[in-house]
Amino acid sequence: MKKTFLALTLFIGLFVRADEGMWFLMFIDRLNQRDMEKLGLQLTAEEIYSVNHSSLKDAVVQFNGGCTAELISSQGLVLTNHHCGYNAIAELSTPEKNHLIDGFWASSKEAELKPKSLFVRFFVRMDDVSKRILGKVNDAMSEADRDKTIKQEIALIEKEQSEGGKYVVSVRSFFQGNEFYYFVFQDYKDVRLVGTPPSSIGKFGGDTDNWEWPRHTGDFSMFRIYADANGNPAEYSPNNVPLAPKVHLKVNIKGINEGDFAMILGFPGRTNRWLPSAGIEQNVKYAYPAWVEASKTSMDAMKRYMDEDDKINLDYASKYAGIANYWKNRQGMIDALTKFQTTKTKAANEADFEQWAQKRKNRKEYGNVVSTINNYYAATNEKARHDNYLSNLLRASELAVISRTLGSKLLDFDKAMATANGTEKESSGNNGESIVQTMLQTLDEFYDKLSLPVEKDILMNGIWLYITKAAYPLPASFDSPDAISQRVATILSKTAFSNPDLLRAHVRGETRIDVSKDPLFMLSQELIAHLSATKPEIVQLQADFSRAYRKLVKGMRESGLSEVQYPDANSTMRLTYGTVSALPDDKRNDAKINYYTTLQGTINKYKPGNEEFDLPERLIELNKTADFGEYADKNGYMPVNFLTNNDITGGNSGSPVLNAKGELIGLAFDGNIEAMAGDVIFDDQLQKTINVDIRYVLFLIDKFSEARHLVDEMTIVR
């Protein structure tokens, strides 16, 4: 594996606090090993990451593209967060068998449930291809030509490393295009639900406690990976067998203490630690406020109906939870970045850079970097506001994106039927009846989980907010709020998408609809096109900004002016290490030291019948009798959640929290709102990771859910 001296030198940089950083696994031997050992690590770098031998990284997977999970048995048992499995659990639920509300535990492997679409991704290896890719470009190129050349080389590398399609390969840019690495993955698509606690445990505290500490949430769910008889990835089949993984994690129930070593492996989604000061200001004043307001508008539209109808509540539970999570996150970001004057801190750092850049030897390459960046943000502040109103409307409204979803499928259906019924029928091999049945099934699935009254309100309210608040140029047909409001009302009354039976008649050939001319289809196209439309002058500013941002990061690393010496997160596997770590004492927490919470603390929050703080009677009874089995702490209480000072972000949800020996002690699931600015700047005093104690997980599986057979699968360290 190549490790050039230059790359290592740049990576090592300045001394960084042990709890800060999302580190590449291939560099931990040279960059992190000594610091980790000082904190208590008892593993070698090779035991954590190895290409040629089994290592800890083989027990950690990306879960369904957006979370992390870990293997905890020799039979493919996978543990992740409840909120990571939420979509699959909701899909497998019905009003009669509501696994979200009631929980679910498979009594045998045959009873495990297969959702339609769920996969896990194993990380196989990575390597540095910076020299190869950057050798194809030069500073004389335009940004467009540079991007095109890089994409072409990336395509070649991904094809070369895929081994004929056996692996998924992704080449990613780091440090804003100054380095490139490829990552090799292997996907398994037969993943089945094994168990989940009821949402009153898995989602205890709801939106009120989200991002808050002290926390009392049993945020976990359990799945199993299946493979063919040879252990290879395979589409779902009843003949598939549980995967025998290369490595599964031992589960340690001895307990934890403040100061214990804690390491997290996972797939953090996105950070912006290198973001310039003007970019932070744009987010705080323009982008995030629009995001918050647009999210709240769509949430309110859903909630009115969810509170009145159990089926709607189930159908929209996952979407509502996802929007609510980011709604609170973005407001927390606004508050934290404002409170800690992050823009001012970054601006001071850039002023130091500007002085360095104006030195004669640096002026040619770096002299205009900061001014170019600031010009870009000044010109795009209103566009950022506009884009966040509109993008959140498109994210929340199924009708707003109908041209890309159901509408697109109907157009494809019409083309397929024309072929099947035309002169190309024999050569094409199309079966008209089969195409009809497939499309009818697609319609049934789409409308089964969709409430037209809900969707109409989301669209109407979202568009009203957008056109009254976004100062950036609106689509040409959006003349005024009153005009567009009337227009949307008319569209919703006339569109075929408001009449599923009419669409079914079209599919069966009983009537004829020109989908491309449908008024809602056309409105959807207009909204999507307007979001992606960019003025020519902005296109040039974006190109200038991309070049300047790349040079800013390069110069910051070269000059040693930045404390950040690791690349931003981008859904590639990273390692973060630190310790079990307390916050200052909090009267809301009954724990003796404010780094853990207890089941009694959970009971103290109990509000019968409350959507967020209700609890099952069985859990209350187990606490009353102290029937905790072998999972109680040595001091007698039942632990629930605990804090570490690890550096994580979205995508780390479900990540394993490991002790000094690489044994599982918990699952990461949240951060604390005091350090919500963490995606931009790390606060070594306040930033914490909130984790589910593995003892609470096993207690809930064994004592609460009576699924002891699953605990018996695991390798328990007592």
The rounded Cα 285 to chain-centroid distance in angstroms is 24
Write down the catalytic residue from 82, 83, 99, 248: 83
β-partners of residue 122 are 61, 186
Q: Rg for the chain (alpha carbons), in Å?
A: 27
Rounded Cα gap, residues 601 and 586, in angstroms: 12
Rounded Cα gap, residues 151 and 184, in angstroms: 17
Write down the catalytic residue from 277, 295, 403, 653: 653
Q: Give phi and psi for 565, each to the nearest 5.
A: -120, 10
Residue 206 φ/ψ region, left for φ over 0, alpha for ψ in the -120 to 50 degree band, beta for the rest:
left
Can you read off the two tokens belonging to residue 710? 């699953």
Rounded Cα gap, residues 659 and 655, in angstroms: 13
Cα 256 to Cα 205, 262, 631, 655: the distances in Å are: 24, 10, 12, 17
Q: Is 122 exposed, middle or buried (0-12, 13-18, 19+ CB in 10 A)?
A: buried
Q: Which of 465, 505, 469 is nearest to 488 (CA)?
A: 465
Contact 696, 218 (CB under 8 A): yes
Does residue 237 carry a catalytic annotation? no
Can you read off the two tokens belonging to residue 393? 């409307």
Rounded Cα gap, residues 82 and 100, in angstroms: 10
Does residue 260 carry a catalytic annotation? no
Rounded Cα gap, residues 666 and 642, in angstroms: 8
Does residue 653 carry a catalytic annotation? yes
Rounded Cα gap, residues 452 and 612, in angstroms: 27
Q: How many CB atoms lie within 10 A of CB 94?
A: 9
Write down the catalytic residue from 219, 315, 387, 457: 219
Q: Is 186 exposed, middle or buried (0-12, 13-18, 19+ CB in 10 A)?
A: middle
The rounded Cα 155 to chain-centroid distance in angstroms is 25
Can you read off the two tokens belonging to residue 151? 């994409």
Can you read off the two tokens belonging to residue 396? 């929340």
Rounded Cα gap, residues 191 and 113, in angstroms: 9
| Residues ≥6 apart with Cβ < 8 Å to 415 | none
Q: Hey, which residues are catalytic here?
A: 83, 219, 653
